[in-house]
Structure 1
Amino acid sequence: MALHKLLVDDFYDASFSLIAIHCRLEDYRLAYLLNKHLGLNLERKPQDLDYNYFAASFSIYEWENTKFDTIWNLVSNICKKEEASLQSSGSLFENSTTVTRTHNLLPELKTVDYLLKVSNEHRHFNEKHILNTIQSIPQVITTYTVDIDQIKYKDHLIFD
Structure 2
Amino acid sequence: MALHKLLVDDFYDASYSLIAIHCRLEDFRLAYLLNKYLDLKLQRKLQDLDYNYFDASFSIYEWENKKLDTVWNLVSNICKKDEATLQSSGSLFENSTTVTRTVNLLPELKTVDYLIKVSNEQRNFNEKIILNRIQSIPQVITTYSVDIEKIKSKDHLIFN
Shorter-chain TM-score: what band? over 0.9
- Does the alignment pair 1:80 with 2:80? yes
Q: State the shift of 1:89 in Å.
A: 7.9
- 2:22 matched to which residue of 1? 22
TM-score (norm. length: structure 1): 0.94
Q: Which residues in structure 2 correspond to 1:4-153 (within 5 Å)? A: 4-53=4-53, 55-88=55-88, 90-153=90-153
Q: State the shift of 1:95 in Å.
A: 2.3
Q: State the shift of 1:153 in Å.
A: 1.0
In structure 1, runs of 5+ residues without a counterpart are none
Q: State the shift of 1:10 in Å.
A: 2.2
- 1:157 matched to which residue of 2? 157
Q: State the shift of 1:54 in Å.
A: 6.4
| Aligned partner letter, 2:55 | A
Which of the pair is proportionally richer in strand? 2
| Aligned partner letter, 1:130 | I
Could you say what the CA RMSD is over the residues aligned between the two structures, in angstroms?
1.4
Measured in 2, the distance between the counterparts of 1:145 and 1:90 equals 52
How many pairs does the alignment contain?
160
Measured in 1, the distance between the counterparts of 2:77 and 2:122 equals 26
Measured in 2, the distance between the counterparts of 1:94 and 1:87 equals 7
Partner of 2:96, secondary structure, is coil
Q: In the TM superposition, what whole-angstrom CA distance separates every residue of 1:47-86 from its partner, at most 9, and x where no partner exists?
A: 0001134611000000000010000000000000000013
Deviates more, 1:46-55 or 1:117-126: 46-55
Measured in 1, the distance between the counterparts of 2:54 and 2:45 equals 17
Q: State the shift of 1:44 in Å.
A: 0.3
Percent identity between matched residues is: 85
In structure 2, runs of 5+ residues without a counterpart are none
Partner of 1:97, secondary structure, is strand
Measured in 1, the distance between the counterparts of 2:49 and 2:11 equals 26
| Aligned partner letter, 2:58 | F
| Aligned partner letter, 2:131 | L
